[in-house]
Structure 1
Amino acid sequence: MTKPRVLISDKMDPNAAKIFAERGCDVDVITDKTPDELAAMIGDYDGLAIRSSTKVTKQILDAATNLKVIGRAGIGVDNVDIPYASAKGVVVMNTPFGNSITTAEHAIALMFALARQLPEANAQTQAGKWPKNDFMGVEVTGKTLGLIGAGNIGSIVASRALGLRMKVVAFDPFLTADRAIEMGVEKADLDTLLAKADFITLHTPLTDQTRNVLSRENLAKTKKGVRIINCARGGLIDEEALKEALDSGQVAGAALDVFATEPAKESPLFGTPNFICTPHLGASTNEAQVNVALQVAEQMADYLVNGGVTNALNMPSLSAEEAPKLKPYTNLALKLGSLVGQLAHDNLDNIAIEVEGAAAELNIKPITAAVLAGFMRRFSDAVNMVNAPFLAKERGFDIREVRHDKTGAYHTLVRVTVNTAQGPRSVAGTLFANSEARLVEIFGISLEAELEGNMLYIVNEDAPGFIGRVGTALGEAGLNIGTFHLGRRSAGGEAVLLLSMDAAIPEAVLKQLGTLPGVKTVKALKF
């Protein structure tokens, strides 16, 4: 079996390469390449490990014909075109926890620097002055810290602030009342936070909803003399408005580790009194750099070798332990989705995935992704479990997942249903010996079959002699039947014939079969 090949294109801890090798990957460390040079070589690799320097653009992704996963050693993925990577079927991972403590500590450090005006005092002292009376700081003890974003990093900041005997007020739409109590913080809306906070620190990703969360309007709502720290993402604060607030005294001080445009060679804030900045150092400690490099290598290797998905931004998580257990189910789901996609004639816009029995106890998201991957192959062969949900959403599909606690005739069952002009149509399958995929129902007719290779699907009126006529027609065309599966609604009613064939069926033979008495539908299938 060929080993997956991984390219590390940015400088990172050398132990990352060792982890890739130990876990069954061939790895090359080639850094400082231009976009054109990277595009010329990326086609040879299954995985790409990056930090912030490599820009994974449409150009790179178009050239990455074998690429399966991109791993960012760090949190931010602004340098990766995630929507296009998703469309190309490439998993994008980051390491959101490897530098959490480091970033939180940097925010606390900047808070102290603001409170005691440390950079200015240091500069003047080293310039030969002794400005003992020029710098009057404030204590943080007893002050209120406003936390915008109470996720992983925000919760660490809250913990440190509480240890400093500060009060913490948190605004986060995803923060539950129980979690706020557990953290020891007051859950509040944004306006309440702005009115109460002596210090405000931001720990939220940059989205359409969070862009300029500290806008000119919101800065005007803050408590006069507030101090603001941002170690999260540039763009969360209106930098022009922040300068005006600093000049007016509405904001007593601000410390930014991140800017809307980076590298920040110029900014309206530069030179403003009571403003401190650092060049995106939130993750810059020896410990954090080692942690994120090791984590990204472990995650990527798990995906390439075992199918485990951790911290992916465009695919449901799937542990390395879950992956082998789910593999037979995703194989079954892929085939059921493919069957529906090949048989559907309508312009379908909805699909339901139901699981029951043993399947209901599993992570349903990979099963859904596999059904969609099989189904969406009616549009393109380049569809996989990564880009199928993206493509389905792009086409406006309504996707429904249903989990049944009951166990029916089979110990496990996956059912796929679509709505057609003729009403709902569904197919269902199970696993034999917990590993072998079997079709057990097609459009309401019980029928047991493997879905493999070239197959022939026929819907006909049940009548004596029909099977013989089909066999004769195929024999005369020199086509050999592998397996034979038959089901019907009732005697003399509608019947389904599903044959596995040793070779693809020519169009002329399909047309001939369509002329046989009682035939309603003839379709060649491929799995």
Structure 2
Amino acid sequence: MSAPRILLVENIHEVAKEKLLDEGFKVDLIAHAPSEEELLKLLPNYDVLGIRSKTEITKKVLENNKHLLTIGCFCIGTNQVDLKVAREEGVPVFNAPHSNTRSVAELVIAEMIALSRQLGDRNTKAHVGEWVKSAAGSKEVRGKTLGIVGYGHIGSQVSILAESMGLKVVFFDVLKKLPLGNAVAMSTLEELLKVSDFVTLHVPETPETKDMMGAKQFAQMKKDSYLINASRGTVVVIEDLVAALKSKHIAGCAIDVFPEEPASNKEKFQSPLQGVSNVILTPHIGGSTEEAQYAIGMEVAESFRRYLKIGSSSGAVNFPNVDLPVKHGTSRLLNVHKNQPGVLGEINSIISRAGANIEGQFLSTDERIGYLVMDVHSSHAQSLAEEIEKLPRSIRTRVVY
């Protein structure tokens, strides 16, 4: 088999390209986020695509590029990919759920202190010659209560850092989570909002989290409390937040993500939050540290390597997960098929008729598809794969070695 061709977009860290080149893949790297039209022109020349958060992988892109083997999101979120269609096309989507955890957590802690000390406003005024030396409205964070909404990888890391600084930590999550340190789980979002001096959001973008923080929730927050959002822009109703800030019910906010964001650094950014006092606005940089981007590049590149060379799908967000060892002395066939009765029997019949011995077989399924990995002793692995591919319920079949 020829080496898979990989396209990395949105200025993914160079380490990903270096790692993949070292593995013998062909890799191209571009700096911008391609539009749907550009992707339709580019992707026929590639087998694998790596993106960040700005590139939209639509149903049209996927259905017109059925040859794509896998997609990697070099970030945490995967909502920019039509995961359902990708699964139906047999395309696993990988992401990097752990690599930027510390970077986002550190930014949240920094913003919490900056808001409590009004550093944004005082910095801006000092730059234009105003000397605002006053303790009014400036407070320590020690002894205050931090409410964390979403107690996953990032939320729990924020919890540890905040508690080490002397804050009391409470959290709310729709799933039952083990509290770290002295953190206390709240039964409802409302309960958390009522007791928190700082509220930080760490939830994914889902129909349930869309507009989760609006006028009702801001009214439930403590007077003179602060909001931090480094999760997803659709979680907060910006107009309602502006109203809560201008009424002085909320003392300030730090927002890193927005409902609408510029597609590139060359576009102008606009938000109703601009010009409001004690508001820190950052351009979606929660995970934008050199350390995080390096780690993300390594993590997703490794997922590519394991899937392309071994067939391991562990970590895929839309695909049955199989974690595989390398089996020497055999050929490995990978098959994605519709999860319907009788498919496995049809495949095994093909192997049996060819007189090939199955050394090992791994199957993982979800409600829509099955992922079958077979290690066989046969010099005709490619022809077997081609015959299996012709089965009416096969989605894709390939040989990795």
Report the TM-score, using the length of structure 1 for normalisation: 0.62
Which digits, 9 at most, give the CA deviation of each residue in 1:372-397, with x for residues without a partner?
65xxxxxxxxxx749xxxxxxxxxxx
Quick check: 1:187 aligned with 2:185?
Answer: yes
Distance 1:135 1:280, change over 3 A: farther
Quick check: 1:246 aligned with 2:250?
Answer: no
What CA distance in whole angstroms lies between the structure 2 residues aligned with 1:452 and 1:18?
A: 31
Distance 1:200 1:339, change over 3 A: closer
Identify the residue that residue 148 of structure 1 maps to in structure 2: 149
What CA distance in whole angstroms lies between the structure 2 residues aligned with 1:211 and 1:385?
A: 33
Q: Is the 8 A contact 1:308 1:322 kept in 2?
A: no
Paired residue secondary structure (1:319): coil
What CA distance in whole angstroms lies between the structure 1 residues aligned with 2:386 and 2:4?
A: 27
Q: Is the 8 A contact 1:24 1:301 kept in 2?
A: no
Identify the residue that residue 323 of structure 2 maps to in structure 1: 319
Per the TM alignment, residue 249 of structure 1 is displaced from its structure 2 partner at its CA by 1.8
Runs of 4+ in structure 1 over 6 Å off: 322-325, 327-336, 339-342, 451-454
Letter in 2 for 1:262: E
Spell out the pairing of 1:439-458 with structure 2 (5 A cutoff). Answer: none
Which digits, 9 at most, give the CA deviation of each residue in 1:380-424, with x for residues without a partner?
xxxx749xxxxxxxxxxxxxxxxxxxxxxxxxxxxxxxxxxxxxx
Identify the residue that residue 23 of structure 1 maps to in structure 2: 23
Partner residue of 1:368 out of 365, 368, 372: 365
Paired residue secondary structure (1:208): coil
How many residues end up aligned between the 2 structures?
A: 361
Letter in 2 for 1:136: G
Letter in 1 for 2:306: D
Per the TM alignment, residue 53 of structure 1 is displaced from its structure 2 partner at its CA by 3.8
What CA distance in whole angstroms lies between the structure 2 residues aligned with 1:24 and 1:299?
A: 15
Letter in 1 for 2:109: I
Q: Is the 8 A contact 1:4 1:305 kept in 2?
A: no
Identify the residue that residue 206 of structure 1 maps to in structure 2: 205
Distance 1:54 1:199, change over 3 A: same
What CA distance in whole angstroms lies between the structure 2 residues aligned with 1:266 and 1:75?
A: 25
Distance 1:165 1:126, change over 3 A: same
Q: Is the 8 A contact 1:151 1:203 kept in 2?
A: yes
Identify the residue that residue 44 of structure 1 maps to in structure 2: 45
Letter in 2 for 1:226: S
Q: Is the 8 A contact 1:150 1:175 kept in 2?
A: no
Spell out the pairing of 1:496-515 with structure 2 (5 A cutoff). Answer: none
Quick check: 1:299 aligned with 2:303?
Answer: yes
Spell out the pairing of 1:19-98 with structure 2 (5 A cutoff). Answer: 19-32=19-32, 33=34, 35-98=36-99
Identify the residue that residue 292 of structure 2 maps to in structure 1: 288
Which digits, 9 at most, give the CA deviation of each residue in 1:60-99, with x for residues without a partner?
2233231011101111233322222223221111111111
What CA distance in whole angstroms lies between the structure 2 residues aligned with 1:110 and 1:274?
A: 11
Letter in 1 for 2:291: E
Spell out the pairing of 1:161-200 with structure 2 (5 A cutoff). Answer: 161-176=162-177, 179-180=178-179, 182-189=180-187, 190-200=189-199
Q: Is the 8 A contact 1:49 1:72 kept in 2?
A: yes
Letter in 1 for 2:133: K
What CA distance in whole angstroms lies between the structure 1 residues aligned with 2:127 and 2:170?
A: 38
Identify the residue that residue 391 of structure 1 maps to in structure 2: none
Distance 1:276 1:323, change over 3 A: farther
Distance 1:127 1:31, change over 3 A: closer
Which digits, 9 at most, give the CA deviation of each residue in 1:117-158, with x for residues without a partner?
101111111211211127531111010000000000001100
What CA distance in whole angstroms lies between the structure 2 residues aligned with 1:215 and 1:104?
A: 24
Paired residue secondary structure (2:81): coil
Quick check: 1:272 aligned with 2:256?
Answer: no
Q: Which has the higher contact order (CA 8 A, sep 6+)?
A: 2
Which digits, 9 at most, give the CA deviation of each residue in 1:465-504, with x for residues without a partner?
xxxxxxxxxxxxxxxxxxxxxxxxxxxxxxxxxxxxxxxx
What CA distance in whole angstroms lies between the structure 2 residues aligned with 1:134 and 1:333?
A: 66
Q: Is the 8 A contact 2:321 2:364 kept in 1?
A: no
**Greater CA radius of gyration, 1 or 2?**
1
Distance 1:238 1:38, change over 3 A: closer
Letter in 2 for 1:71: G
Per the TM alignment, residue 283 of structure 1 is displaced from its structure 2 partner at its CA by 1.1
Distance 1:331 1:194, change over 3 A: closer
Identify the residue that residue 6 of structure 1 maps to in structure 2: 6
Q: Is the 8 A contact 2:16 2:301 kept in 1?
A: yes
Distance 1:141 1:64, change over 3 A: same
Distance 1:161 1:312, change over 3 A: same
Letter in 1 for 2:130: K
Q: Is the 8 A contact 1:196 1:223 kept in 2?
A: yes
Distance 1:231 1:453, change over 3 A: closer
Distance 1:255 1:155, change over 3 A: same
Q: Is the 8 A contact 1:96 1:311 kept in 2?
A: no
Q: CA RMSD in A?
A: 3.4
Paired residue secondary structure (1:245): helix
Q: Is the 8 A contact 1:7 1:47 kept in 2?
A: yes
Paired residue secondary structure (1:235): helix
Show structure 2 runs of 5+ residues with no match: 263-267, 348-359, 378-383, 388-396
Show structure 1 runs of 5+ residues with no match: 343-358, 374-383, 387-430, 437-450, 455-526
Distance 1:76 1:368, change over 3 A: closer
What CA distance in whole angstroms lies between the structure 1 residues aligned with 2:334 and 2:127?
A: 67
Identify the residue that residue 343 of structure 2 maps to in structure 1: 338
